Amino acid sequence: MYDDIVRSDSSLRRFLHGLPGVDQVGCEARAAGLGTRSIKTTAKAYAIDLAIRMVDLTTLEGADTHGKVKALASKAKRPDPADPSCPATAAVCVYPDMVATAKQTLGDSGVHVAAVATAFPSGRAAMDIKLADTRDAVEAGADEIDMVIDRGAFLSGRYLDVYDEIVQVKEACGDAHLKVIFETGELQTYDNVRRASWLAMMAGGHFIKTSTGKVQPAATLPVTLIMLEAVRDFRDQTGQMVGVKPAGGIKTTKDAIKYLVMVNEIAGPDWLDPDWFRFGASTLLNDLLMQRTKMTTGRYSGPDYFTLD
């Protein structure tokens, strides 16, 4: 239904620049206002378990080894060895060369393997290399591909190039789900975030994702607010749902709950599901586990009672 819009750079630009603008002050005030919701007792217990189920447990380091990835995958399957009622995370997120290892450990546990591809995190490589990177990860068994957009192209107004790249990567994904990373810390303005969101949704991305985690600021509440508004409006227009994934910088249960409140009140309860909302995080999981244990036992325990990875 967007064929006319994506016909040329200028028609695409007209559409993206015709989207309602974002008032920065108002947007940040709304995000801060939702952040003051007080989530207690039963609501908190619900939110913690939901947040755990939404975590894409991530390791994206040059120092990653097969051992490290195996350990992380075990943790994703059973985050709290002391409590079998604790749910598994949604996925583990690794570089493409670690996909096979992660897959082996996860088996048929239902925990997905997500791989960052397309010359993550900068995206500065030739197109055929980005596509090869994607195919490589999918062949190794990745269920989900986290691609980065070409921010250089986006910022210089070559929207159609960005669109075409997403379409091609999606094709290379086959059955794997595609998450499109904007690196909002480089796009800078909320207007850009809204435009990138529509661009990625029109190109067929299953998820839109804030950041690689390698650039500061990574995920913020107002940026996520804009993306949640975008997926809400996109469904109103097309009937299609797109997921949202803030990644990087979400470290505490308190933060995670603020995001869930925002999902609930901006996009709506349909998005309160790991199929439609994820957290890209590593240290967040242990804080969630610590708070979960506090909810069930009434006591805080120290970090040594939870596994490192």
- Cβ proximity to another protein, 94 vs 226, nearer residue: 226
Question: From the CB of 17, what's the least distance to another protein, in Å?
Answer: 11
Pick one of 178, 250, 260, 284: the residue that binds another protein (CB under 8 A). 260
- Cβ proximity to another protein, 29 vs 129, nearer residue: 29
Of the residues 146, 191, 255, 287, only one is catalytic, namely 146
CA dihedral of 67, 76, 106, 86, whole degrees rounded to 10? 140
How many angstroms separate the CA atoms of 171 and 303, rounded? 43
Whole-angstrom distance between the N-terminal and C-terminal Cα of the chain?
45
Answer yes or no: 287 catalytic.
Answer: no
Residue 47 engages another protein in binding (rule: CB under 8 A)? yes
Question: From the CB of 67, what's the least distance to another protein, in Å?
Answer: 34
Pick one of 133, 150, 229, 287: the residue that binds another protein (CB under 8 A). 229
3-class state of residue 136 by DSSP:
helix
Residue 252 engages another protein in binding (rule: CB under 8 A)? no
Residue 273 engages another protein in binding (rule: CB under 8 A)? yes
How many angstroms separate the CA atoms of 74 and 162, rounded? 36
How many angstroms separate the CA atoms of 155 and 76, rounded? 37
The owner of tokens 């109103």 is: 236
> In sequence order, which residues have a C-beta less than 8 Å from that of residue 18 and are 6 or more positions away?
none
How many angstroms separate the CA atoms of 135 and 141, rounded? 10
- Cβ proximity to another protein, 80 vs 229, nearer residue: 229
Binding site for another protein (CB under 8 A): 20-23, 25-27, 29-30, 36-44, 46-47, 49-50, 229, 260-261, 264-265, 269-270, 272-273
